[in-house]
Amino acid sequence: MNYLLKSASFLLLFVIFSPYGHSQSYIGNTMDNYSGVHSLLLNPAHVVGSKTKFEFNIFSASAFVGNDYLGVDFSNLRNIGDGFSFDSDVSKTPSDRNNFFGNADILGPSVMFRLNEKSSLGINTRVRTFFNIHNISGLFYESISDGFDSQSDFQANMEDLAGTIHAWGELGLTYGRIILDNESGRLKFGTTLKYLGGAGGLFTSSPQLSAAFNSNAGILTTGGTLDYGYTSGFDTENIEFTDFTGGFGADFGLVYELKSKDEFPVDSVYLPKPYKLRFGISILDIGSINYNGATEVSYDMNGTVDVVEFDEKDLEDLLNENFQGTEVIGNRSLGLPSSLQAFVDYNVSKKFFLSLHGAYSLRNSSTFRVSNIINTISVTPRFESKGISIYSPLSLRQYQSGIHWGIGFRSGPFMIGSGSVLSNLLSSSSKSTDVFIGFKVPIFKDKAQDLK
């Protein structure tokens, strides 16, 4: 668990202070009618009826990290040259049920293209890493991460503690088809079948874990049980895909477009707008990866530890030398972050849109050996055209109070954005941050095709 907590600190600080952050998958961009390959990450049915006739993604990266424990005042970061203080520039909100989460999503060479007027195909390559730790005491986290030297006495009682780090690659094949098209609307279906290459992961869980620190004696007294495990050869500091484990996954989606009765001229010919209102629903990341030869140890955590050992020993040595454990080596499955996604997109005028998007995790946060997204709901106004799109999402996120406000844009082959950059600049205690960037080559339809 010490290793998990230190990994959480590294991920959090890396995103906050790095000029290239990481995001919960291209927030705001996937609703754009010109987003092409990236729209398939929200709903595979978007592959058919796209504004692009052909698109090739060169490279895109998105990442997201957050928590409900550590808040950063980004306005003070301009003074970082004078030194950054965790006492004055960081606020902490400890409880017995704090949560930490993050993911990185890299979209490699990927294509999508039309097969005919009613069907399209997409192929994508993708590398993803998820980190989750739920229901951990903030005081316990702080002590293990920063050391016990300046910590006063505390007691913590944690229930349903669960943590997972998992990295994998995907090769996805997307097929979409228009299954209904009449004067009033159009219904599209799409699916993505994925071959998964698991790089491995580590995981921990405890139904009940207590911790009491005596600062005078320098002793941590713990109670309860703890399961800790990892796949063979997995190292969070050096994740490799040279010897991966195969698996399979899938996405499914439906999109219905209610056609507008309004008309406008194009080259002296009146053609209808593509839609006035669009609805979509999808289930993403169905599946898991089964790892052979994974190590899992169940520990009886009733005992005491000299806190000096947290600085001198790694996690396995500390646990093995202080607590009784039962080790099992066998097959273990790590579940993908399955989610239900739904959206409504309203065409306000020719180039202005307003969308509502909700994402709901189908994985319980306390479930052992699974990754999960955080539940979110977003409202995004946007302007879009063939040459440029601008969008500004406003989101509510699970575990966090307040509205997260960001901005992003697409111009030709380049896109960049964040779902929280504006609120981070305005807030004195930001607890999540994200950013995305990408380069791709789109080939658009002609004007008549563009309106079909």
Is residue 77 a contact partner of residue 88, using CB atoms and an 8 Å limit?
no
Q: What is the mean pLDDT of residues 306-324?
A: 88
Please give the Cα distance from 377 to 368 (Å, whole number). Answer: 26
Residue 83 has pLDDT above 50, yes or no: no
* DSSP character string of 392-441: --EEEETT--S-EE-EEEEETTEEEEESSHHHHHH-SSB-EEEEEEEEEE
Q: Dihedral (C-alpha) 384, 386, 387, 392: value to the nearest 10 degrees?
A: 20
Instruction: Tell me which of 195-199, 206-210, 265-269 is least confident.
Output: 265-269
Reported residue count of the chain is 452
* pLDDT tens digits along 134-152: 999 988 988 887 788 878 8
Parent domain of 311: 2-450
Q: At what angle do helices 2-17 and 315-322 cross, to 10 degrees?
A: 160
Give 249's Cβ-side CA count (13 Å radius): 28
Determine the average pLDDT of the residues in 391-419: 93
User: pLDDT for 222-248, tens place per residue?
Assistant: 999 999 999 988 877 677 776 778 999
Compute the average pLDDT of residues 59-88.
70
Query: Are 339 and 282 spatial neighbours (Cβ–Cβ below 8 Å)?
Result: no
Q: For residues 443 and 263, which has the higher predicted lDDT (pLDDT)?
A: 443
Number of domains in the chain: 1
Give the residue from 327, 326, 290, 322 showing the smallest Cα distance to 308.
322
Secondary structure class of 139 (helix, strand, coil): helix
- Alpha carbon distance 97, 90 (integer Å): 19
Does the structure show a pLDDT above 80 at 176?
yes
Whether 264 shows a pLDDT value over 90: the answer reads: no
Q: pTM score > 0.75 for this model?
A: yes
- Which CATH number covers residue 429? 2.40.160
3-state secondary structure of 263: strand
Q: In the predicted model, what is the mean pLDDT of the chain? A: 86
E strands in 348-393? 352-361, 376-384, 388-391
Q: What is the pLDDT of residue 178?
A: 96
Distance in angstroms (rounded) separating the CA atoms of residues 36 and 124: 12
Calculate the CA 405 to chain-centre distance.
Answer: 17
Cα separation, 206 vs 136, in Å, equals: 10
- CB distance 167 to 199 below 8 Å: yes
Strand-pairing partners, residue 347, are: 353
Q: What is the pLDDT of residues 89-106, one digit of tens each?
A: 578 888 999 999 999 999
Beta bridge partners of 444: 52
Using DSSP bridges, classify how beta strands 185-214 and 269-272 pair: parallel, antiparallel or unpaired: unpaired
pLDDT of residue 451: 44
- Of 323, 236, 242, give the one whose Cα is nearest residue 5: 236
pLDDT bucket at 367, cuts 50 / 70 / 90: confident
Percent of the chain residues topping a pLDDT of 90:
65
Between helix 138-146 and helix 2-17 the angle, nearest 10°, is 80
> Strands (DSSP E) along 39-153, which ranges?
52-67, 70-72, 90-92, 98-107, 110-116, 119-136
409 pLDDT higher than 60? yes
Which residues are within 8 A (CB) of 133 and not within 5 positions of it... i.e. 6 or more apart? 4, 5, 8, 99, 100, 101, 161, 162, 163, 164, 204
Kindly state the average pLDDT of the residues 340-351: 94
Encoded amino acid at 180, one letter: L
d(CA 72, CA 91): 6
* Residue 59 predicted with pLDDT over 80: yes
Please check whether residue 99 is in contact with residue 399, taking contact to mean a CB–CB distance below 8 angstroms: yes
